[in-house]
Amino acid sequence: MSNYHIKHLEEYYQVYRKSIQNPDIFWEEIAEEHFVWRKRWNTVLEWDFSKPEIKWFKGAQLNITENCIDRHLRTRGSKTALLFEPNNPDESTQHITYNQLYKRVNQFANVLKDQGIKKGDRVCIYLPMIPELAIATLACARIGAIHSVVFAGFSATALATRINDSDCKLVITADGSYRGAKTIDLKTIVDDALKHTPCVKNVLVVKRIGSSINMQTNRDKWLQPLLDNALTECEPEIMNAEDPLFILYTSGSTGTPKGMVHTTAGYMVYTAFTFKNAFQYQENDVYWCTADIGWITGHSYIVYGPLANGATTVLYEGVPNYPDWGRFWKIIEKHKITQFYTAPTAIRALAKENLKHVEKHDLSSLKILGSVGEPINEEAWHWYDTNIGKKKCPIIDTWWQTETGGIMISPIPYATPTKPTYATLPFPGIQPVLMDENGNEIKGNQVDGRLCIKFPWPSMARTIWNNHQRYRETYFTAYKNNYFTGDGALRDEVGYYRITGRVDDVIIVSGHNLGTAPIEDAINLHPAIAESAIVGFPHDIKGNALYGYVILKETGTNRNHDNLRKEINQIITEHIGPIAKLDKIQFTSGLPKTRSGKIMRRILRKIASSEFDTLGDTSTLLNPEVVQEIITNVL
Ligand code: WT7
């Protein structure tokens, strides 16, 4: 896979132009050169956004695990595929080679078959970040079963909803999980969920923490004895290009999660291509993405993308602050990590801590730093650049979504000059457009609008499980013949994109359009402030006014609040203008966040508007307890 590295900006523009002018040829060349196919495609792309219907590599047949595992055995059999770093630093690291991965995936696949799982069946995976999580997803893919990984921090109710929505026959879980100094009884959560899921016939249980758990006769089975008796060869199921590979749930504007369906060939081609170029992967690199496989980032950039490239990919079971806030940096030093991919929320949390945690460790192996999940504010970007990358590592701010399957807008290291807070340029094949409120495309540079994508790309979700209508309404009706991302963006004078946040977070104050992200960025520049969130609340004269929730750093906790409020509005005035000043500023110890680290603005909006009775379900939050604190201290 040598020649799909993009090496300089000129080459990027060349490749980009080709990908737009002749997408069929562009993707066909990549597909031909870098993958193993059982049967070639008849057409590269057929599409119609009005239905919407998107088919990539129609007629082709393949199995993604042959591409992620089998074909590497000859050249990389004894190379580490999965490098497992356990929660407890005293437990030894596991190096799982491609040869071992092959055997373990095949054994697991044979166990699934013995449980009666067939091509097209849905299997729910509810596991901690242990090797079995990656192996279980691959085992499903080996036999053509559709995996639905549910992040193992979701509650029993959330788990049951997802199991029922896609009618899963089998659940794969563990006796428990480690999270820092704590353990979590995963199996108990599964037992609760399964009181409401008649579709589930069997449960396979991985022994991880060794706790005594309830095993329901005939339904629940320990995995290990079954694996021990399973053959290490399992013929891969031959899949059609557009057969579903997995379902992954994402929350929407309504309560019901959306089961985004990703299919086989296009997803494989695009995640492999973007992994290679976004991280400039080289044969001996050790790549680490800190996400959980329960999210799309983990699917695409811990499992499929890296393995399709024959990479060594790290799986870390624990949290950033166990046993202390130096753990990430310790892991980087220990395994000589070359590419490190994490989220702004983690960066900000780490930046709040004493720098001695960073300075203790040798981070000189690092070559590239990545960020994903939300806009990265300027202060966090510089902290990351200075203290982690030592100003030598390009930072790739990668914009994408569960729905897009892979990275859409991102610098390509060494080719694209970076610019703090900018995701910069579209990947080859990606055609972003900005739209105004009336659905007209805004051309030219130095403009902002709603971010749409006007042409299909191989890894886009093809539908919402069992609800194609909702898929169409959510993504393809607001802007005719375009995929609507739900995000706002601006394009600067050279065509770089900056994602300004969800457009539902835009607040109109006195007829002015204000994005929350730029205001928060400005506030976060204040030396005493760790994090902030802005929402709108109804105002008699302005229509909406701004309400800020602000978390102070350790160093700011003894400051006078009224003085701080003045300083915050001073910074906003300086960076955006007096129109963006906050009417109310509440200091708080935390912000309600989703498990993936996103601030739940909906809850903050309701509290700021005194709508305490309609907060909705807060049980899936990372930190539900903070909601009460915020309500108690509301201004
Ligand atoms: C939303 C998608 C992509 C995997 C993790 C999140 C926001 C994501 C960025 C970025 C600004 C970003 C967008 C997007 N987002 N990456 N680099 N800069 N915003 O996946 O949970 O489906 O969320 O996350 O608002 O629409 P997700």
CATH of the domain at 197: 3.40.50.12780
| Dihedral sign (CA 318, 322, 328, 329) | negative
H or E segment to which residue 48 belongs? strand 43-48
Task: Give the Cα separation of 397 and 374 in Å (integer).
Answer: 9
* Minimal-distance CA residue to ligand 1 atom 10: 399
Task: Give the Cα separation of 329 and 320 in Å (integer).
Answer: 9
pLDDT of residue 514: 65
**How much of the chain is in helix, strand and coil states, percent to nearest 5?**
35, 25, 40
470 CA from centroid of ligand 1 (Å): 20
Structure tokens at 86: 């356990």
Task: Give the Cα separation of 70 and 64 in Å (integer).
Answer: 10
Same domain, 435 and 540: no
Per-residue pLDDT tens for 11-34? 999 999 999 999 999 999 999 998
Q: Are 394 and 369 in contact, with CB atoms under 8 Å apart? A: yes
Which domain covers residue 624, as residue numbers? 510-632
Residue 155 belongs to some domain of the structure = yes
pLDDT at 322 over 60: yes
Q: Are 621 and 592 in contact, with CB atoms under 8 Å apart? A: yes
Q: Closest ligand 1 atom, CA of 596? A: 21
Kindly state the percentage of the chain with pLDDT values over 90.
82
- Domain termination residue (choose one: 430, 457, 489): 489
Q: Cα 572–573–576 angle (5° rounding)?
A: 70
Structure tokens at 320: 């950033």
Same domain, 524 and 417: no
| Dihedral sign (CA 526, 530, 531, 532) | negative
Residue partners of 56: CB distance under 8 A and separation at least 6: 27, 44, 45, 241, 242, 263, 265, 266, 269, 456, 458
Same domain, 534 and 465: no
Q: Please give the model's pTM, rounded to 2 decimal places.
A: 0.85
Structure tokens at 139: 């085992």
pLDDT of residue 206: 98
Task: Give the Cα separation of 92 and 104 in Å (integer).
Answer: 19
Task: Give the Cα separation of 442 and 35 in Å (integer).
Answer: 38
Residue 330 belongs to some domain of the structure = no
pLDDT of residue 574: 77
pLDDT of residue 507: 73
Residue 388 belongs to some domain of the structure = no
pLDDT of residue 615: 85
Residue 344 belongs to some domain of the structure = no
Residue 599 sits at φ, ψ, to 5 deg, of -65, 130
What's the distance, Cα to Cα, between the start and end of the chain in Å?
Answer: 58
Residue 505 belongs to some domain of the structure = no
Residue 81 belongs to some domain of the structure = yes
Structure tokens at 27: 């993707």
Mean pLDDT of 404-421: 97
Confidence at 83, pLDDT banded by 50, 70, 90: very high
Same domain, 448 and 535: no
Pairing of strands 258-263, 244-250: antiparallel
* Minimal-distance CA residue to ligand 1 atom 13: 374
Q: Are 27 and 206 in contact, with CB atoms under 8 Å apart? A: no
Ligand 1 neighbourhood includes 250 CB (under 6 angstroms): yes
Task: Report the chain's mean pLDDT, rounded to a whole number.
Answer: 93
CATH number at residue 550: 3.30.300.30
Mean pLDDT of 46-55: 97
Report whether the peptide linkage leading into residue 323 is cis, meaning its omega lies within 30 degrees of zero. Answer: yes
Ligand 1 neighbourhood includes 297 CB (under 6 angstroms): yes
Structure tokens at 589: 């110890």
Longest dimension (CA), the chain: 73
pLDDT at 510 over 70: no
Residue 122, sorted as left (phi over 0), alpha (psi -120 to 50) or beta, turns out to be beta
Kindly state the percentage of the chain with pLDDT values over 70.
97
Higher pLDDT, 514 or 44: 44
Per DSSP, which regions of 180-336 are E strands? 182-184, 202-206, 220-222, 239-240, 244-250, 258-263, 286-289, 312-316
Residue 372 belongs to some domain of the structure = no
Same domain, 542 and 459: no
Same domain, 543 and 419: no
Same domain, 590 and 451: no
Same domain, 408 and 534: no
622 CA from centroid of ligand 1 (Å): 17
pLDDT at 2 over 60: no
Total Cβ atoms within 10 A of residue 183: 16
Supply the Cα-derived Rg of the chain in whole angstroms.
Answer: 24
pLDDT at 1 over 60: no
* Minimal-distance CA residue to ligand 1 atom 20: 401
pLDDT of residue 15: 95
Q: Cα 614–615–617 angle (5° rounding)?
A: 115
- Domain termination residue (choose one: 425, 455, 489): 489
Same domain, 101 and 151: yes
pLDDT at 96 over 50: yes
Same domain, 427 and 564: no
Residue 242 belongs to some domain of the structure = yes
Per-residue pLDDT tens for 100-147? 999 999 999 999 999 999 999 999 999 999 999 999 999 999 999 999
State the amino acid at position 340 in one-letter form: F
pLDDT of residue 513: 53
Per-residue pLDDT tens for 217-229? 999 999 999 999 9
541 CA from centroid of ligand 1 (Å): 34
Confidence at 406, pLDDT banded by 50, 70, 90: very high
Per-residue pLDDT tens for 448-465? 999 999 999 999 999 999
pLDDT at 304 over 80: yes
Confidence at 81, pLDDT banded by 50, 70, 90: very high
Pocket perturbation via mutation, ligand 1, pick of 348, 377, 401, 500 by most ligand atoms within 8 A of CB = 401
Q: Are 374 and 433 in contact, with CB atoms under 8 Å apart? A: no
Mean pLDDT of 193-209: 97
Structure tokens at 521: 């960025």
Same domain, 462 and 517: no
Q: What are the DSSP calls for 388-426, one per residue?
A: ISTT-S-EEEEB--TTT-S--B---TTTSPP-TT--BSB
Confidence at 176, pLDDT banded by 50, 70, 90: very high
Pocket perturbation via mutation, ligand 1, pick of 303, 372, 620 by most ligand atoms within 8 A of CB = 372
Same domain, 527 and 407: no
- Domain termination residue (choose one: 489, 522, 548): 489
Confidence at 504, pLDDT banded by 50, 70, 90: low
pLDDT of residue 305: 98
Q: Please state the domain count of the chain.
A: 2
428 CA from centroid of ligand 1 (Å): 19
Ligand 1 neighbourhood includes 516 CB (under 6 angstroms): no
In sequence order, the β-bridge partners of residue 344 are none
